[in-house]
Amino acid sequence: AAISALIASGLPTERFTFIGFLPRRSKERRALLTEVGTLPYTLIFYEAPHRLLTCLDDLLAVLGDRQVAVAHELTKLHEDIARGGLAEVRGRWSSVGAATPRGEYVLVVAGLPQDDNGRPATLSDGLEPGQASAGAMAAARELLPGLLASGYGTRAAATECAKATGISKRSAYQLALEIAKESGEG
């Protein structure tokens, strides 16, 4: 199922890392995702249906809105593959309402983008450590509203955002405060 999902995902197939099932508990799952999230290779995970939504939430919080394919019932009559950004794919199950996903899932996630020198793309703009590229700040601006809306406090959202985007915790916190203020006024 892993190779079939990888091929059907549309994500790079030259190099990939198969992780298997992620830990059941969110804390351990996030620790593992933080560790493997820096790999430039496509990542493949298996997930049980009753943990799919929390897994997608953790992927989004730790890895940011990377491209993903969530495959289900591969090579069967009701084969289903959802492709897009993590937030978009996660939203697919939010709109379904109370319908609980069934069957095992294969999650194929894009690796951390790299520049031509093999450095993480968020740090490749000739910036000093602690300075954020425009791309990293844009990614943070996309990620933070979702984290704040899903119940993260400002500080926790900033910490997760900093891990996922490579911006400093201070920058992420300032941005989270701005976003929280804007959403409070709207």
The DSSP secondary-structure symbol of 66 reads -
Residue 115 confidence (pLDDT): 65
d(CA 82, CA 44): 15
Residue 130 confidence (pLDDT): 45
Angle at 72 between CA 163 and CA 5, to 5 degrees: 70
Residue 16, C-beta contacts closer than 8 angstroms, at least 6 positions apart:
6, 41, 42, 43, 44
Residue 125 confidence (pLDDT): 44
- The two tokens of residue 153 are 């406090």
Domains (ranges, CATH) in the chain? 2-109 (3.30.950.10), 121-185 (no CATH)
State pLDDT tens for residues 66-116.
Answer: 899 999 877 777 778 889 888 888 877 665 554 566 778 999 999 987 766
Residue 70 confidence (pLDDT): 93
Intervals of the chain under pLDDT 50: 98, 123-131, 186
Residue 90 confidence (pLDDT): 82
Greatest Cα pair distance, the chain, in angstroms, is 52
Spatial strand order of the sheet with 42-47 comes to 16-21, 42-47, 105-109, 67-72, 80-85
Residue 47 confidence (pLDDT): 93
